[in-house]
Amino acid sequence: MAAAAFYDLEGTLVSTNLVHTLGFYARNEPGLLRSLKKSASTLLSLPMFAITDQYSRKVFNDLYFKRYKGVKEDRLRFLADDLFFSVLKPAVFPGAYELLEKSRSLGLRQVVVTGALDVSVKPLMEHLGIQEYVANRLEFVNGVATGRLLPPVMAAATKASWIRVYAEREGLSLSDSYAYTDSMSDLPMLSIVGHPAAINPDMRLRQTALHHDWPILNLK
Amino acid sequence: MKPETSNVKLMALQLRRKTHESVVYIDRDSAPRIMPSGEDFILEDLPIGTRVLYPNAPIKGLPNREAAIRYALNHPHECDPLFAQLEPGMRVTIAVDDISLPLPPMATPDIRQSVLEIVLDMLSGHGVDDVHIIIANSLHRKMTEWEMKRMVGSKIFDEYYPDRYYNHDAEWADGLIKLGETKHKEPLTLNRRAAESDLLIYVNINLVPMDGGHKSVAVGLCDYESLRAHHEPQTIRDSDSYMDPARSELNHKVHRLGKIVDEQLNVFHIETAINNRMYKGDMDFLLRNEDDFTAFDRMKFEAMRYTMSKMPRPARRKLLHSRPAQYEMIACHAGKTEPVHEKIIAKAFDQYAIPVRGQCDILITGIPDISPYNVYSILNPLLVQVMGLGYHFNFYRNKPLLKKGGVLIVHHPCYDEFDHKFHPSYIEFFNRLLPETRDAFVLRDKYEQEFANNPSYIEMYRRGNAYHGAHPFFMWYWGENGRQHVGKVIAAGAENAHVPAMLGWDRADNLTEAIAMARSFMGSSAEITMLHQPIIGIADME
C-alpha cells in the first residue's frame, strides 16, 4: 500500500517561523513611516505570540493572523518571491534536502502540512520539489485581508484530521507513513502515523519524543 | 585416615591441579569470585569444581612504541617501505579504526595518535600535502568531536578537523564508489576518497582476532549493501567461531572482498597488537585470581563496591567509562594486508589463547558494561544479548566452550534502557520486532531494509551520532550461532521479567537460583565453567 511522508514546515524543514514572515511583510510596508510602525508593533507583539503559542496554537493563530488585516492580496503575492529568496531559501536546513531526497527515493509521497500562508510558501514548495502541500489561507474581501483564516485552519489536531482524510482519499497507509515536526502543537499529527519523528524539537516535544522512543533528528 | 576423607582430599588436590595459569578450579576454601553485572560488581560463591577462566597475564609492552612503529614502516611485509612509496603531490588517505577499538578506550596517547604522528611527519617530509584522515566507522555511529580529538591528540585534530579529518559516511552517495563484486555476487562499494587516493594507509588496533586484516578496509569503509552481504544470519551460523579466522565464514567472505581491494587499491596496512592490561593500579584486582588477593586488594574492592553502591546507575556508568584502559602495544607490523595480519593474529593468540580441555554443561558469564557498541553509552538489552550470545560465547577456537544444548548463564540487570541519541533504531527493533519474531532470517527478510532505509535513522546516522538503522539487526545476527548452539539462556540478576522474555531467555533472581535452574535442565553433575569478566581471551579447546 502506498504511503507518504508528512512534514510540518517552519522550524522543521526551515529555521524560520511564522513571525519571520510577518516581520518581512512589516519591513516591506510601503512608506518608511508605515514600515517602521508595523515593524515596531510586530516586535512588541513577540512576547504575546510566545506566550499564546505555549498556551494554545488556536489562540496564537487568532492573534497572529489578525496582524494581516488590511493587507492587500496582490501585495502578498508580489512579495512572495522576495520572501522566498531573502528569508526562506537561506533558512532551509541542510539536512532537509537529504531527508526529502531519501524519503522520495523510497517512493513516499511528499506532503507538507503547514500553518504558514499558502501564498508565502508556494515558491519554497517549488524549490523543494513538493507538489502536495496544504497551508493556511487568509480570507480576503475585495482583495483585502480580513485577518481571519478560511477553514480548515491548519494547526494542532486539524493537521491530523486533514492527514487522515487525505490518506483515506488517496489510499495511503498511515501505518507505513512518516511525519516530521518540531513542535509539541503538532503532536496529533505525529500520533496518527506509524513512523513519527521529531526534528529540532522544542523542549516539550523532545520530552514527549523521548518518552515515546521516537527518533529525534537534527537537520541543522 | 578415613577413606572418605582421603577421597575428598584427593579430589581437592586434583581440583587444585593447575592446567594453566588462567584456569582455576573452585575448591572448598576458595574465595568468592568477583563478577561484573552491568555497572555493578558482585561477589559470588561458586559451586565446588567450577572452572574459572581468567585473562592471561599481560605480555610485556614494547619499551619504545614509536621506535617499533618506525621500524615497521621501514621494514614492511611484501612491499616497499612507506617512505619509498611517497611522492610529492600524491593523494593520500589515512583510515583509522573507530571508537569500538580498543575497549574500554585506551589511555592517551592512543596508539593511533602515535602512528599518525609518525606517518604524517613522514608524509610532510616527502611533500605530500593532500592528506585526509577518515575514521573507518562503517555503519557504527560517527564519533563525536571530543572523541575524535581524544583519539588523535589536539595537534593533529586542530590541523585536520573538520575538513581533512572526519567520519566515513556510508549513506553519502557521492562519497562512495562501487569497486565491483566477488564471484559469489558480494558487492563492494567503498569510500570514494579512500578508493581514489594514490595510497591508502590503514591504521589498526587489534583487540580480538576478528579485527583487522581485510575487515579494516572492506568493512570499515563500505556501505550498507556491501555489509549486508556478509553481516547476515547464515554467515554467522557458519562461523565456528568468528573469533577464529580460520573457521570463520565471515572472515572468508571478507577475505574475498579484500582481494578486490588489493586488486584496485594501493593499501599500506599498519596493524598493531595490544596486551590485555585492561586495568592497572586501583582496579587491577579485577583481572586477578581472588585466591591471590592481598588484604589491600580486598580493601580496594570493598571500597569500590561501597562507593558505587551509593551512586545512581548513570553515575556508576559515568565512573566506569571514565577509566581508560592501560593497554600496551606488543607488536606492530606494516605492509600488505595479509602477511601483516597473519603476524598480528599470531601475536594476538599468544596473548589471548587459554588452553582448555573439555567442554562444560553450564557456562557463566557476567556482562560488564564494556562492549564495542556502548562506549560512553548504555548497554541496552540488544547489546547484552550480543555480548552474551555473541562475543562471550564466541571466545573459543576449535569447538565451543559450552556443550551443544548447554546452558548459558548471563549475569546482568537487563534494564530496559536505551540511548536515544546513539541507538534509536534499537528501540524500535526491540519493542516492535522482537515481540513478533526472534527468527533472524525472518527479521532480515521482512524488516532489515525497512530500517536501513528509514529516512529518520539515516539522518540520525549522517548528521548525528546514531548507529545505522540496520545495526540492531546485525547485533541480533551476531548472536545467531550462540542462539543455535545453547539449549537455554538464563539471565541472572535481571531486574525485570520482560527483557529476558523478549530475548527468549529465562530469568533468575541471582546466580545461585540460576545455577539451580541450569542444573535441573542439565543434571546435577553438570560441569560448570565461568568466564572471569572482564576477559579478553580465547578458549583454545583441545
Mean pLDDT of each 10-residue bin along chain B, 542 residues long: 52 61 93 96 95 96 97 98 97 97 94 98 97 98 98 98 98 97 97 98 95 97 98 97 95 97 98 94 90 94 94 96 95 98 97 95 97 97 98 96 98 97 97 97 98 97 97 98 98 97 98 98 96 95 92
* Interface list for chain A against chain B, based on CB atoms closer than 8 Å: 5, 95, 98-99, 102-103, 106, 178, 180, 195, 197, 209-210, 213, 215-220
Q: Order the strands of the B91-97 sheet from edge to edge.
A: B165-167, B130-136, B91-97, B199-206, B267-274, B329-335
What average pLDDT does the structure give for chain A?
90
What is the rounded CA–CA span in Å between residue A31 and residue A33?
6
The pLDDT, as a whole number, for residue A35 is 76
For residue A210, the distance in angstroms to the closest alpha carbon of chain B comes to: 7
Task: Work out whether the CA dihedral B227, B232, B238, B242 comes out positive or negative.
Answer: positive
The 3-state secondary structure of B154-197 reads HHHHHHHCCCCEEECCCCCHHHEEEEEECCCCCEEEEEHHHHCC
User: Cis bond leading into B339, ω under 30°?
Assistant: no
Residues B459, A210: C-beta atoms closer than 8 Å: no
Does B459 sit within 8 Å of A102, measured CB to CB?
yes
Among A97, A195, A217, the strongest candidate for a mutation testing the B interface, having the largest count of B CBs within 10 A, is: A217
Decide if A112 contacts A121 (C-beta within 8 A). Answer: yes
CA distance B216 to B93: 14
Phi-psi region of B425 (alpha: psi -120 to 50; beta: other; left: phi over 0): alpha
* Cβ–Cβ gap B428/A213 under 8 Å: yes
What nine digits make up the cell of B421? 541519541
Q: Are B460 and A5 a contacting pair at CB < 8 A?
A: no
Looking at the complex, report in whole angstroms how far the Cα of residue B450 sits from the nearest Cα belonging to chain A. Answer: 10
Question: What's the whole-number mean pLDDT along residues A95-113?
Answer: 96
Terminal-to-terminal C-alpha distance of chain A: 32
- Cβ pair B156, B119 in contact under 8 A: no
Is A216–B460 a contact, with Cβ atoms under 8 angstroms apart? yes
| Contacts (Cβ under 8 Å, ≥6 apart) of B86 | B92, B122, B123, B126, B127, B128, B199
Cell numbers found for residue A156: 494542532
Alpha-carbon distances, residue A162 vs A112, A118, A153, A166 (angstroms)? 11, 16, 10, 6
Q: Do B462 and A95 touch (CB under 8 A)?
A: yes
At B222 the pLDDT is: 98
Write the CA distances from B178 to A124, B259, B468, integer angstroms.
Answer: 35, 14, 20
Q: Which three cell numbers mark B280?
A: 592497572
Q: Which ranges constitute the DSSP H helices of B406-537?
A: 424-428, 440-443, 449-452, 455-463, 471-478, 480-485, 498-503, 511-522
In Å, how far are A41, B80, B106, B237, B481 from B477, measured between CA atoms? 62, 40, 28, 9, 8
Q: How many CA atoms lie within 13 A of A66 on its CB side?
A: 9
Please tell me the distance in Å from B423's CA to the nearest CA on chain A. Answer: 10
Please tell me the distance in Å from B381's CA to the nearest CA on chain A.
15
Residue B420 has its nearest CB partner, among A102, A103, A216, at A216
The DSSP element (H or E) to which A116 belongs, if any, is strand A109-117
The Cα B446–Cα B256 span in angstroms is 27
| 8 A C-beta contact, residue B142 and residue B224 | no
Residues in chain B closer than 8 A to A210 (CB atoms)? 420
User: Considering only CB atoms, which residues of chain B are within 8 Å of chain A?
Assistant: 418, 420-421, 424-425, 427-428, 431, 453-460, 462-464
Q: Tell me the chain B residues in contact with residue A195 when contact means C-beta distances shorter than 8 Å.
A: 454, 456
The alpha-carbon gap from A16 to the nearest alpha carbon of chain B, in Å, equals 20
CATH number for the segment(s) B67-274: 3.40.50.11440
Q: How far apart are CA A8 and CA A110, in angstroms?
A: 11
> How high is the pLDDT of residue B15?
55
Helices (H), B17-162: 65-74, 82-85, 111-125, 145-152, 154-160
Length of chain A: 220
The answer to whether the peptide bond before residue B368 is cis (omega within 30 degrees of 0) is no
Residue whose cell numbers read 587499491: B265
**Contact flag A218-B464 (C-beta cutoff 8 Å):** yes
Q: How close, in Å, is residue B374 to chain A by CA atoms?
A: 18
For residue range B63-107, list pLDDT tens digits in order.
Answer: 999 999 999 999 999 999 999 999 999 999 999 999 999 999 999
Around B123, how many Cα atoms within 13 Å sit in the side-chain half-sphere? 22
Between β-strands A144-150 and A132-141, what pairing exists: parallel, antiparallel or unpaired?
antiparallel
Contact residues on chain B for A178, CB-CB shorter than 8 A = 455-456
Domain boundaries of chain B, sorted by first residue: 3-58+357-541, 67-274
The half-sphere exposure of A164 on its side-chain side, counting CA atoms within 13 A, is: 10
Of A102, A210, A213, nearest to B455 by CB-CB distance is: A102
Q: Is B45 left (phi over 0), alpha (psi -120 to 50) or beta?
A: beta
Report how far residue B516's alpha carbon sits from residue B522's, in angstroms, rounded to the nearest whole number: 10
Show the cell assigned to B322.
Answer: 571514565
H/E run at residue B319: helix B313-321
Separation between Cα atoms, residue B421 and residue B378, nearest integer Å: 11
How far is the alpha carbon of B323 from chain A, nearest alpha carbon, in Å? 29
pLDDT attached to residue B1:
44
Give the ranges where chain A is alpha helix by DSSP (H): 18-27, 32-55, 57-66, 73-83, 94-105, 118-128, 157-170, 187-191, 203-212
Beta-carbon separation of A210 and B428 below 8 A: no
How far is residue A22 from each of residues A38, A125, B243, B535, measured CA to CA in Å? 10, 19, 63, 63
Same fold, B3-58+357-541 and B67-274: no
Query: What is residue A63's predicted lDDT score, i.e. its pLDDT?
Result: 79
- Rounded Cα distance between B100 and B97, Å, is 8
Q: Do A102 and B418 touch (CB under 8 A)?
A: no
Q: What is the pLDDT of residue A68?
A: 86
What CA–CA distance (Å, rounded) separates A178 from A108? 9
**Which amino acid is present at B354?**
I
CA-nearest of A29, A44, A38, A25 to A88 is A25
C-alpha span between B470 and B453 (Å, rounded): 8
Residues of A in contact with B420 (CB under 8 A): 209-210, 213, 215-216
CA-CA distance, B493 to B181, in Å (whole number)? 47
Domains of chain A from N-terminus onward? 4-217 (3.40.50.1000)
Q: Which of A1, A98, A212 should be substituted to probe chain B, the one whose Cβ sees the most B Cβ atoms within 10 Å?
A: A98
Cis previous bond, B245, omega within 30: no
* Cβ <8 Å between B463 and A213: no
C-alpha A26/C-alpha A36 separation (Å) is: 8
Q: What is the CATH number of domain B3-58+357-541?
A: 3.90.226.30
- Supply the DSSP symbol for B408: E
Sheet arrangement for strand A109-117: A144-150, A132-141, A109-117, A4-7, A178-181, A195-199, A216-217
Query: How many CB atoms within 10 Å of residue B81?
Result: 16
Task: Identify the residue among A102, A110, A178 best suited for mutation to test binding to B, counting B beta carbons within 10 A and taking the highest.
Answer: A102
Q: Which residues of B touch A217 (CB under 8 A)?
A: 456, 459-460, 463-464
CB-CB neighbors (< 8 A) of B170 in chain A:
none
| DSSP β-ladder status, B360-366 and B33-37 | unpaired
Distance between CA atoms of B46 and B40, rounded to whole angstroms? 18
What is the rounded average pLDDT of the residues A147-171? 93
**Chain B contacts of A95, Cβ < 8 Å?**
459, 462-463
Distance from CA of A219 to the nearest CA of B (A): 7
Q: Look at A95 and B459 and tell me if their CB atoms are within 8 Å.
A: yes
Q: Which of B429, B434, B463 to mutate to test the interface with A (most CBs of A within 10 A)?
A: B463
- Chain A residues whose CB is inside 8 A of the B463 CB are 95, 98, 217-220
Distance from C-alpha of B217 to C-alpha of B97, rounded to nearest angstrom: 10
Give percent of chain A above pLDDT 90. 64
Place of cell 566477488: B182
DSSP for residue B41:
E
Q: What is the 3-state secondary structure (H, E, C) of A121-185?
A: HHHHHHHHCCCEEEEEEEEEECCEEEEEEECCCCCCHHHHHHHHHHHHHHCECCCCCEEEECCHH
